[in-house]
Structure 1
Amino acid sequence: MFRHLLLAIAASILTFPVFAARLLDEGTVGINGQQRRYYHLHDTEAVGTPILLLHGSGCRDYSVRMQFYFERYPAPLSVYYLDKPGVQKGADGESCTTEYDAADLMENRVSDNLAFLDSQPDLRARGPRSVAVLGFSEGGAVAPLVALRSPKAGWLATIGAGGLPQSQVLLIFADRGVEPYAKPFSRDYFLQTYADIKAHPDDVDKDFFGHKYRYWSSHLFYDPLTTYAQLNIPIINAMGEKDESEAIEAGRALRDFFTQRPQRNFRFVEFPNASHGLKAPDKDHLQDFIASLAEWMKANPPPPAPR
């Protein structure tokens, strides 16, 4: 019996794929005449469906978190992340560079990542509907625009981003009495600030919630449903019920939008009592959700690209 057990274990080892290592490489690519830093997290012995990662707001060096996010992702893995301009290696996000502030616009993030898909050699060689786009937080608002405008995009996954304009989300938090949106701030404060941002959309001296007016004028009033309405690839959206940065009402609005369009391939996952990062008191769901994307992509192939 023991001999049979050893033979069974040996057979499983021989038939199970062996991956030598998971590596994080750093490279540079030319975009709009400038050399830009990017990262590639990948397994060495297999090539998976490429994932374009778009992270959240701010000038923190997010590359140090990439391996943690994909720790439970089954091999093969291939994730690309284009750093934002002006982000310094190891930066904690407390102080942003002038270069970062000048480039910190939604349109720039979209166009930079589109150029990255067309410039980085491995991604450039990819055909239509062959790359997955994954966005966290602010990146979850940008990712649908990238997916819509790039023929390479075959799947869209977002975390901590929904289907309402950010201006509406802040008012929802204020009306619900959530701090700091309701205290020390208020609905009236937000409405007054929105008017001021609209009156001074290019102002780089005034700040609101940690960003320049110029940044907010590109993000605050954008309606994501106008983009989602045009997407015809598999989409999955995950949010925490107690998200403190993006109101769960925004995720449910996206869910309701697609409920009225049952022919579209959309899935909404709401994690009870979980935060913006999908962390609940009893469990951190982030790594497991990201790991589940491998099977979700396999089970939901994109439709053929239009000719």
Structure 2
Amino acid sequence: MKWGNMTLKFIRAAARNSFLAFATAVVLTSPAHAERVLEEHAISIGGEPMRYFRLYDTGAKAGKAKGASPVIVVVSGSGCAEFGSRLPYFFEKFPAPLDVYHLEKPHVGKAATGQPGTCSREYERADNLQRRVRDTREFLEAHPALAGLAPRTLALVGFSEGGHVAPIVAADSPKVGWLALGGIGGMRQADGFLVFADRGVAPYANPSSRALLEKQFAEIAADPGSLDKSFFGHPYAYWSSHLFHDPLPYFAKLDVPVVVAMGEKDESEPIESGRLLKAFFARHPDKRFKFIEYEGASHGLQRGDKRHVHDFIAGLAKWFRNDPAAFD
């Protein structure tokens, strides 16, 4: 299972050619004293109508019951596929009580698959790092339940591209008390692509190469607002906001616990990026940081039939309580 519709999918394709306006609820499980429910709602962010999803257990509310996990906000990965409807998959093994929110990206339609060529022009105009950070920040303040949270009582969980958005938001949000990330590290994305090229990983090394990538990066930097020129399935306007972003200064600002999980065989973000982040935090022992490397696993933390993403997310429940057995 991938982190939404991620970069590699587009790479392969390129290589081959006002609030609560509505709500729907689906009962997902029926334990003896609680039900796990997925709801979809509308909200205005930045003056635009957007959608968000909430996955929660009825009965005792997360963040309020004794020993409960905090309220969680999930920031998804790249692409125009609908992510919110898949929240139950990711939290399949997470113990009750659970309360999770996810703001869908602007101009992502209902049940959108995110297949190459299906993202709208409106989506592409809005698809950049700065907009995602702005929307996430505003969501934390615009949603009544989130706006009313006390300091350090909310957990941000970022997957893939969302793992670059979440630390920026966490660095200046007094609400955030925990940061959990999957499929990201501490490198600029451009540097990560060059690592892949040097290692001989397709398509970065073939059909592309270090020289071709560096030439492409220069072209993107020279025309950063272009929606008509594309690279690996995304417009230059998208790449100019992501490729050259340095995440380390934002990690340096954090004073909350951080956990990062990566697959050793990650095909979208090199494992060297995660190891670089691990080394960075080793030089800052005052910060609480944990790095999990799943042997042989992919960007989606999967190895064969083993879905480590379920174990990682379920382990957050203990990690929030500072349990040393978390992720065992």
Residues 69 and 287 of structure 1 are in contact (CA less than 8 Å); yes or no, is this contact kept in structure 2?
A: yes
Structure-to-structure mapping, 1:222-261, within 5 angstroms: 222-261=245-284
Q: Give me the whole-angstrom Cα distance separating, in 1, the residues matched to 2:128 and 2:144.
A: 26
Distance apart, 1:27 and its partner CA = 0.9
Q: Which moved more, 1:158-167 or 1:19-28?
A: 19-28
Structure-to-structure mapping, 1:263-282, within 5 angstroms: 263-281=286-304
- Partner residue of 2:83 out of 31, 40, 62: 62
2:185 paired residue number: 162
- Partner residue of 1:96 out of 119, 142, 157: 119
Q: Give me the whole-angstrom Cα distance separating, in 2, the residues matched to 1:73 and 1:218.
A: 33
Matched, 1:84 2:105: yes
Residues 133 and 156 of structure 1 are in contact (CA less than 8 Å); yes or no, is this contact kept in structure 2?
A: yes
Q: Give me the whole-angstrom Cα distance separating, in 1, the residues matched to 2:32 and 2:290.
A: 32
Q: Give me the whole-angstrom Cα distance separating, in 2, the residues matched to 1:61 and 1:123.
A: 22
CA deviation vs aligned residue, 1:170-195 (integer Å, no higher than 9, x gap): 00000000011111111011100000
CA deviation vs aligned residue, 1:219-253 (integer Å, no higher than 9, x gap): 10011101101101000000000000000000000
1:73 paired residue number: 94
Distance apart, 1:282 and its partner CA = 5.7
- Normalised TM-score (structure 2): 0.85
- Partner residue of 1:46 out of 60, 79, 83: 60
Residues 186 and 273 of structure 2 are in contact (CA less than 8 Å); yes or no, is this contact kept in structure 1?
A: yes
Quote the RMSD (CA, aligned, Å). Answer: 1.1
User: Helix, strand or coil: the match of 1:190?
Assistant: helix
Amino acid at match of 1:238: A
Q: Give me the whole-angstrom Cα distance separating, in 1, the residues matched to 2:280 and 2:60.
A: 38
Structure 1 residues without counterparts, runs of 5 or longer = 1-16, 301-307
CA deviation vs aligned residue, 1:105-133 (integer Å, no higher than 9, x gap): 10100010100000111101111111000
Structure-to-structure mapping, 1:1-307, within 5 angstroms: 18-48=32-62, 49-94=70-115, 95-281=118-304, 283-299=306-322
Residues 19 and 75 of structure 1 are in contact (CA less than 8 Å); yes or no, is this contact kept in structure 2?
A: no
Amino acid at match of 2:202: E
Amino acid at match of 1:149: D
User: Helix, strand or coil: the match of 1:134?
Assistant: strand
Amino acid at match of 1:160: G
Distance apart, 1:78 and its partner CA = 0.6
Q: How many residues get paired?
A: 284
Q: Give me the whole-angstrom Cα distance separating, in 2, the residues matched to 1:27 and 1:243.
A: 34
Q: Give me the whole-angstrom Cα distance separating, in 2, the residues matched to 1:19 and 1:217.
A: 49
Amino acid at match of 2:263: G
Distance apart, 1:283 and its partner CA = 2.0
- Normalised TM-score (structure 1): 0.91
- Which one has the largest radius of gyration? 1
Distance apart, 1:18 and its partner CA = 4.9
Residues 23 and 41 of structure 1 are in contact (CA less than 8 Å); yes or no, is this contact kept in structure 2?
A: yes
Residues 53 and 85 of structure 2 are in contact (CA less than 8 Å); yes or no, is this contact kept in structure 1?
A: no
Distance apart, 1:19 and its partner CA = 3.7
Q: Give me the whole-angstrom Cα distance separating, in 2, the residues matched to 1:210 and 1:101.
A: 11
Distance apart, 1:169 and its partner CA = 0.4
Q: Give me the whole-angstrom Cα distance separating, in 2, the residues matched to 1:152 and 1:53.
A: 14
Amino acid at match of 1:83: E
Structure 2 residues without counterparts, runs of 5 or longer = 1-30, 63-69, 324-328
Q: Give me the whole-angstrom Cα distance separating, in 2, the residues matched to 1:208 and 1:187.
A: 15
Residues 53 and 103 of structure 2 are in contact (CA less than 8 Å); yes or no, is this contact kept in structure 1?
A: yes
Identity of aligned residues (%): 50
Distance apart, 1:32 and its partner CA = 1.7
Q: Give me the whole-angstrom Cα distance separating, in 2, the residues matched to 1:163 and 1:143.
A: 13
